Structure 1
Amino acid sequence: MTMADEHPSPETLRGKVLYIEDNPINMSLVETALEAYPGITLLKASTGQDGIRLARSEQPDLVLLDMHLPDIGGLEVVRALNEDIANRHLRVTLLTADTLSMDIVKAMSLGAYEYWLKPINMATFATALQRALGRGKDDDKR
């Protein structure tokens, strides 16, 4: 196995990322970051309900989920997607400006994969994309 096998290049990563976020600036930052990954399709939702609908219809490989949405909170979104998380190994990453809160703890206990503090660290973002969409994606499905 070569180093390239362990850390896929941006050109080799493929998949769908759903970003559920109501802040246009945060959405724009992620859109810009994903431009370096031509094989990744970005799906966007600005409400929790739209995000749930898109997650079910489009079956993304990774969901980036803002915890504070205008209609329902991130915890409710994770609850709604709990079956997809368990059965499809859907990875949900929580994004929040809050430090560790009870909602984050509950969402993690329901199967959310990890949480990141905003503003998003781009090195963390790149590493997480590799974990979710690279070779390691199938390794987690044991």
Structure 2
Amino acid sequence: MMSTNSRTDEPGAALHGKLLYIEDEAVNVALVRAIVEQRHPGVQLIHAGTGAEGVRLVCSEKPDFVLLDMHLPDMSGLEVVRQLNVEIANRGLRVTILTGDSLSMDIIKAMSLGAYEYWVKPLDLKVFEGGLRRALTGRRPDPARRLPART
């Protein structure tokens, strides 16, 4: 876990930390990489293309935040959350689910296992910015935004 002096809660302040994006679609990875590189140079982006690789990288790289696609080639996002449950519980790892699905039982189960938030694809820049800031500064999400309805 990062020391408190390497993060800041000020809304306009630069963010620092390590983001692991578990996603198999190259276009989505390129979009997130471009946002992070252009807007948040203090954030290190690590990528995993499968759930198993993501779980391994969580254990070896100790990211501050995980952005997790629910549909991976080797396992579901729900299974990844299950495997990360100890990291979520013991060190407060923040895992946000990113999905093209509307609210489903898998999303509800993942949230009950400790997932931090869920965001609906296509990724909205404002949602990404706010969520990244909350995850890297330790702020809790607004309870009304934890399970947003898909419009």
- What's the TM-score, normalizing by structure 1? 0.89
Measured in 1, the distance between the counterparts of 2:62 and 2:32 equals 19
Q: Stretches of 4+ moved more than 4 A in 1?
A: none
Measured in 2, the distance between the counterparts of 1:13 and 1:116 equals 20
Deviations 1:63-101 (A, max 9, x none): 000000000000000000000000110000000000001
1:92 aligns with 2:95: yes
1:125 aligns with 2:149: no
How many angstroms does 1:6 deviate by? 3.1
How many angstroms does 1:136 deviate by? 3.1
Aligned residue among 5, 10, 13 for 1:6: 10
**1:74-113 equivalence runs, <5 A:** 74-113=77-116
Amino acid at match of 1:49: A
Q: Over aligned residues, Cα RMSD in angstroms? A: 1.4
How many angstroms does 1:130 deviate by? 1.1
Amino acid at match of 1:107: A
Measured in 1, the distance between the counterparts of 2:94 and 2:22 equals 13
**1:13-52 equivalence runs, <5 A:** 13-35=15-37, 36-52=39-55
Q: Is the 8 A contact 2:70 2:78 kept in 1?
A: yes
Residues 18, 113 of structure 1: alpha-carbon distance in 2 compared, 3 angstrom cutoff: same
Identity across matched positions, percent:
59
Residues 131, 5 of structure 1: alpha-carbon distance in 2 compared, 3 angstrom cutoff: closer
How many angstroms does 1:135 deviate by? 5.7
Structure 1 residue aligned with 2:146? none
Aligned residue among 100, 103, 115 for 2:118: 115
Measured in 2, the distance between the counterparts of 1:50 and 1:5 equals 31
Residues 109, 135 of structure 1: alpha-carbon distance in 2 compared, 3 angstrom cutoff: closer
Q: Is the 8 A contact 1:6 1:135 kept in 2?
A: no
